[in-house]
Amino acid sequence: MNLEQLQNIFPDATAETWHQHPNGSGWVQNTAQVSGNAWVSGNAWVSGDARVSGDARVYDNAWVYGDAQVSSDARVYDNARLTIPVICATRTDGWTFMCVQTTTDPVVIAGCRYFTFDKARAHWQTTRGGTPLGDESLAIIDHLERMAKIQGWVK
């Protein structure tokens, strides 16, 4: 995406208020932060007070904005729109689990799966119960739920 294309989305965007990130050349508003080994590439952009850090990747047509925080090994891609804080944890096999607040309850996202905490536990107990990967998955879900409570997303 070039500056003119970015201005179709953000009419006030200028070379003084936005820059292309050195890792991937995606656009980053100067109010946002992309640090560490993080990448922003393709037609992706990061704006507002958003933070992308660690080895996180934002690519394809993804948008990270507002107060969103993407870290660790998280991936935001395709046509994803992320505007709120996200809690992430990565399993030893590289599988990333995320927890996001929705208009009703927090949701655990792992790959193509979207679960409540209880349904996530039931899924990994059924599919991986009694294995180290299952134990790790359940520990991650416990961690995500505890962090969601700290954030005030769960009573």
pLDDT, tens digit, 9 for 90 and up, residues 78-111: 888 877 777 888 899 988 999 988 777 889 999 8
One domain, residues 6 and 57: yes
Range of the domain at 40: 1-84
One domain, residues 75 and 2: yes
Please identify, among 28, 59, 84, the residue that sits at the C-terminal boundary of a domain.
84
Q: Indicate the residue type of 114.
A: Y
Q: Are 38 and 54 in contact (CB under 8 A)?
A: yes
- Report the chain's mean pLDDT, rounded to a whole number: 91
pLDDT of 111: 85
Query: What is the enclosing helix (H) or strand (E) of 30?
Result: none
The region of weakest confidence among 36-50, 63-77, 116-130 is 63-77
Number of structural domains the chain divides into:
2
